[in-house]
Amino acid sequence: MAYLVGRTELESVFPPELLVTLDAAVAQGIGHGPTRDFLVRVGLPDKPAAWFEVSEEVCDGEFEIGFEEIADDHPGLSFDLSRWINLGGLSYDDIALDSSTGEVYCLPDDGSAPYLLNRSLDAFAYFLYLLEVERPNYDFEAGDGTFEDGAERRLRARMEAADGTAFAHPGSAWTTVLQYVSTKLQ
């Protein structure tokens, strides 16, 4: 199966021990085949000091499916939260996976309504990969202090080309991440 980013690419920027995969038996509860395969074969980078931290439940393979309590706080949502898995945190927001569609949702820290963040889990992982590839150009601790201009612009262009959904919501978590990249450059 072709993904936007594979295990080899992720291992080129993240140590293999930071890539969280699921045992095939544990992943059987995930109805969306490509997403299940991605979590078993490729995995997600768990790098708390960077952008994304995988939830302890996913790391332990003991996650539960369902976010019905969020629906009570936001009546009228057009998505079925009973199929969601808490993936972890991106910046201060929680990130959920729709286990039947593979779509990735953001649950904002401020309590506002959840929204679609990425159309697929591999797109989400690809964005994390791009941020790590570009890190030496915006994070003085990751490089030699010589930045190649345009990190924020390059990241946004590559992200939008891969998944325009990422910036469809005003104040998207990805917009916040890119604002941070821009701040680090100043």
* In a domain? residue 172: yes
* In a domain? residue 44: yes
* In a domain? residue 1: no
- Asked whether the whole model's pTM tops 0.95, one would answer no
pLDDT at 91: 83
Residues 69-85 have a mean pLDDT of 82
Nearest by Cα to 136 from 124, 128, 144: 144
Structural domain for 127, as ranges: 7-185
Q: Report CA dihedral (69, 102, 97, 25) to the nearest 10 degrees.
A: 100
* In a domain? residue 22: yes
**Residues above pLDDT 70, as percent of the chain:** 94
* In a domain? residue 2: no
pLDDT at 68: 73
Tens digit of pLDDT for each residue in 86-95?
Answer: 999 998 899 9
Counting the structural domains of the chain, the total is: 1
pLDDT at 32: 96
* In a domain? residue 72: yes
170's torsion region: left (phi>0), alpha (psi -120 to 50) or beta?
Answer: beta
* In a domain? residue 83: yes
